[in-house]
Amino acid sequence: MDQSARIFVAGARGLVGGAIVRQLRAKGFTNLLTPGRAEVDLTDRAALDAYLAAHKPQFVFDAAAKVGGIQANNQFPGDFIRENLLIQTNLIDASYRAGVEKFVFLGSSCIYPKFAPQPMQEEHLLTGILEPTNSAYAIAKIAGIEMINAYRRQFGFKGISLMPTNLYGPGDNYDLNNSHVLPALIRKFHEAKLAGAPEVVIWGTGTPRREFLHCDDLADAAIFLMQTYDSSEIINVGVGDDIPIGELALLVKEITGFQGRLVQDTSKPDGTPRKLLDVSRLTALGWKPTLSLRDGITQTYAAYQASLAAAA
């Protein structure tokens, strides 16, 4: 993938896609295709075929997906499975038929069983039941993995599947109705600080453990693997370390400067007890993340404040 290669980043307006675009530009790649939904709706196969025929990308990063936290996944499972199946099926098949040289499919750590051994190895896929609150999304992503491998076996299509851990960073979704835990905590503590509120309520017991990777680190890993990895075996992308949600909340409280107390609503679901990825396969290839969780959250909070100021 030389620096003049035509590279299509699907989902370039999202958290992950935006980070991939930033990293590609920082590495000197200049011929980037970054259409928004108004330019090409990825659920519209005819529109996607026309776009690929017109622009002829050589490499594709599939960072397009309908995503959300526990509440959104639990409330709208039909939307999550339908939209994700449509997007990834269209992208994979259309890219193959358009002659794309290599394709990166981004899955999710939620593909692994709810009670998978920890840390979760790539071999644990399909060895147990899924977490019910996001099983529709997980099954869509598992279907994408299988489609990539089926096209590799039957057609020789060079596609690889990466399984990122929980992601965060600039450009995240801070809508409390459908965001993930970290941006939700940032917004809750920020707004409570401004309002002088006495407390912030978080969901669950605080005991589930989660691993968090900054989106810029994921983007760097995705570009690295596009250039160095070519296997039907999925590969985990994470930091190899995790933190209890209760401790995460205290860290966000400290970084945002909220002075009140933390209250846990134990009537709300915890989700999967632990989700830690085994990243030894990726580490053996020579890649490691660069941002610590504290530094990453500090940068993300600064970006969130800047976005609020710009919108004011």
Which residues carry a binding-site annotation for NADP(+)? 11-17, 106-109, 141, 164-167, 180
Instruction: Produce one character per residue of 246-282: b if its CB has 16 or more CB atoms within 10 Å, e if not.
Output: bebbebbbebbebeeebebeeeebebbebbbbbbebb
Mind giving me the DSSP string for 286-303?
T------HHHHHHHHHHH
Task: Calculate the alpha carbon distances from 289 to 182, 231, 240 in Å.
Answer: 18, 22, 10
CA distance 270 to 56: 45
Binding residues for substrate are 188, 203, 210, 270
The reply to whether 137 belongs to the active site is yes
List, in sequence order, every beta strand (DSSP E) within the chain: 7-10, 32-33, 59-62, 102-106, 159-164, 166-168, 199-203, 209-210, 212-214, 235-237, 243-244, 261-265, 274-275
Residue pair 244/286 in contact (Cβ under 8 Å)? The answer is: no
Which of 96, 137, 229, 304 is catalytic? The answer is 137
Would you state the structure tokens that stand for residue 151, as one six-digit string? 């096209």
Task: Calculate the alpha carbon distances from 48 to 18, 38, 86, 149, 158 in Å.
Answer: 20, 12, 12, 22, 20
Q: What is the CA radius of gyration of the chain?
A: 19
CA distance 222 to 230: 12
CA distance 306 to 174: 14
CA atoms within 13 A on the CB side of 47: 11
Binding residues are 11-17, 106-109, 141, 164-167, 180, 188, 203, 210, 270
CA distance 280 to 67: 26
DSSP-derived pairing of the beta strands 209-210 and 243-244: antiparallel
The catalytic residue positions are 137
